């Protein structure tokens, strides 16, 4: 083992011990993997399962959007606390339990260095720690978590709070990749970090091919595109040349789906065999959708998903057709 690798492992262990000492319930991604799952036990397909995807709890945006001041109007987030509590309670009631709950970025609204950021983070953690301990949390970085133009410092601060900004993990023969999409949006202040993620991703895709995984699924905050692969670039998608390069890489690697948030509305489309799934928010809505979560069912042949409002998931649970698909053992 190299000195650098040994140091990295020691740092990860120290961080984990510090978290445990502080009573922190989160099992964060460290060392570019999610320790909640034992990798060697998860390479083989074991039958259908499902997970929950949420996005943009974004504590503070509802007030900021209402007053027309998204820069510094985020001094209240009681509504977001209630909505996220409802999401956690709905997930905890589900039977069978989901394999994990992934939050696809913009955990809070306060940008790095802003006044209410620490309080928003703490309140979100206080809600999320009530998630069933058997349902691991998976955190994805968003632009409000690390900044529109991230730096090494803003990314390091995010990692200290929420775990690695990119990592991979296996569940039941399916390979999951969590990416820092902000490095694709604007890495001008940390180009070496984008290069590191690119190199790491190439290694991960080669490993996935070696292990003959059943599916590959990606989580990131910013969608590749909202509806069409060749749509114009704006705030809510990636620049066209960057997007094309990533889409082609994902397609060639056999990636089945990319799940994201950021848009605060439901959207999506296809590039060749790659599905782009854009989920609306737990928090502030910018369109006609309701506050909600997406249930994603993974079978041997396909990936099936449905967006539920928080009220619907709380009161009715999983739809019967999803429960029936889960009951079928391949």
Residue 14 falls inside a structural domain: no
Q: Does residue 34 form part of some domain?
A: no
Contact by Cβ (8 Å): 72, 111 = no
Owner of token pair 């003959």 = 212
Which residue range is the domain that position 277 belongs to? 46-327
d(C-alpha 13, C-alpha 130), whole Å: 24
State the Cα–Cα distance between residues 125 and 213, nearest whole angstrom.
33
Whether 8 is in a domain gets the answer no
- The CATH number linked to 313 is 3.60.21.10
18 part of a folded domain: no
Q: Model's pTM, two decimal places?
A: 0.92
Check residue 22 and give its pLDDT. Answer: 36
Q: List the chain residues with pLDDT less than 50.
A: 1-23, 330
Residue with tokens 């190299």: 2
Domain assignment present for 17? no
Q: What is the DSSP letter of 97?
A: P
Among 136, 179, 131, CA closest to 49: 136
Q: Is residue 24 part of a domain?
A: no
Q: Is residue 36 domain-resident?
A: no
The structural domain count of the chain equals 1
Contacting residues for 105 by C-beta, under 8 A, at least 6 apart: 55, 56, 140, 141, 142, 143, 144, 145, 181, 220, 221, 222, 260, 261, 262
205-to-28, 74, 184, 258, 306 alpha-carbon distances in Å: 22, 39, 18, 14, 27
Would 31 be classed as within a structural domain?
no
pLDDT digits (tens, 9 = 90+) for 108-155: 999 999 999 999 999 999 999 999 999 999 999 999 999 999 999 999
């Amino acid at each position: 083992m190299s000195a650098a690798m040994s140091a990295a492992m020691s740092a990860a262990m120290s961080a984990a011990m510090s978290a445990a000492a502080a009573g922190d319930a989160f099992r964060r991604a460290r060392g570019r993997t999610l320790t909640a799952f034992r990798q060697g036990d998860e390479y083989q397909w074991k039958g259908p399962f499902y997970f929950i995807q949420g996005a943009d709890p974004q504590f503070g945006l509802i007030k900021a959007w209402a007053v027309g001041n998204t820069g510094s109007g985020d001094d209240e987030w009681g509504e977001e606390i209630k909505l996220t509590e409802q999401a956690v309670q709905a997930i905890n009631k589900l039977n069978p339990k989901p394999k994990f709950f992934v939050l696809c970025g913009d955990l809070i609204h306060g940008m790095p260095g802003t006044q209410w950021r620490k309080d928003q983070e703490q309140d979100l953690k206080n809600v999320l720690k009530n998630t069933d301990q058997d349902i691991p949390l998976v955190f994805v970085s968003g632009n409000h978590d690390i900044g529109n133009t991230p730096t090494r410092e803003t990314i390091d601060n995010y990692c200290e709070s929420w775990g690695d900004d990119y990592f991979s993990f296996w569940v039941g023969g399916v390979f999951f990749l969590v990416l820092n999409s902000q490095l694709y949006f604007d890495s001008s202040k940390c180009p070496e970090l984008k290069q590191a993620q690119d190199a790491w991703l190439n290694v991960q895709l080669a490993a996935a091919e070696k292990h003959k995984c059943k599916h590959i699924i990606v989580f990131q905050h910013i969608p590749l595109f909202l509806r069409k692969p060749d749509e114009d670039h704006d705030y809510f998608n990636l620049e066209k040349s960057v997007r094309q390069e990533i889409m082609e890489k994902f397609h060639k690697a056999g990636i089945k789906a990319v799940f994201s948030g950021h848009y605060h509305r439901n959207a999506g489309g296809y590039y060749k065999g790659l599905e782009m799934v854009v989920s609306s928010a737990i928090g502030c809505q910018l369109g006609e959708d309701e506050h909600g979560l997406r249930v994603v069912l993974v079978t041997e042949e396909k990936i099936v998903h449905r967006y539920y409002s928080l009220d619907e998931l709380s009161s009715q649970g999983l739809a019967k057709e999803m429960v029936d698909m889960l009951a079928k053992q391949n």
